[in-house]
Amino acid sequence: MDSLTFDSTYLSTQYHRIYSPISFGKKYDPNGDYIRHFIPVLKDMPKEYIYEPWTAPLSVQEKARCIVGKDYPKPGEKKEALDLLFSGAEST
């Protein structure tokens, strides 16, 4: 009976993978087409910075018309990120 309990517990346990949105995107969508489609504020960001726009120099951000902290949230600003996502969802 114990082996059945062990087996059912083992089989019901799920394995969750956690992917980094930065490294996963760089590997599978190096041009950032998916990001550009769903986050329009990043559409003009060069591909070198599309997954980490906060690392782009201010001159690059200005040229792309996406200033981090103004048009796009700084890393760790959860509320601003949610506002950005939901404001874009209403217009699509």
CA–CA gap between residue 46 and residue 30 (Å, rounded): 11
d(CA 50, CA 5) in angstroms, rounded, equals 48
Domain 22-91 has CATH 1.10.579.10: yes
Q: What is the DSSP letter of 68?
A: B
**Tokens standing for 10?**
């083992």
pTM of the model: 0.65
Better-predicted residue by pLDDT, 11 or 82: 82
pLDDT at 84 over 80: no
Q: Which residues is 72 bridged to in the sheet? A: 68
Neighbours of 7 (CB within 10 A): 10
Q: Give the model confidence (pLDDT) of 15-73 as tens digits.
A: 677 788 889 999 999 999 999 999 999 999 999 999 999 999 999 999 999 999 899 88
Task: Choose among 38, 40, 70, 43: nearest CA to 54.
Answer: 70
The residue extents of the domains of the chain are: 22-91
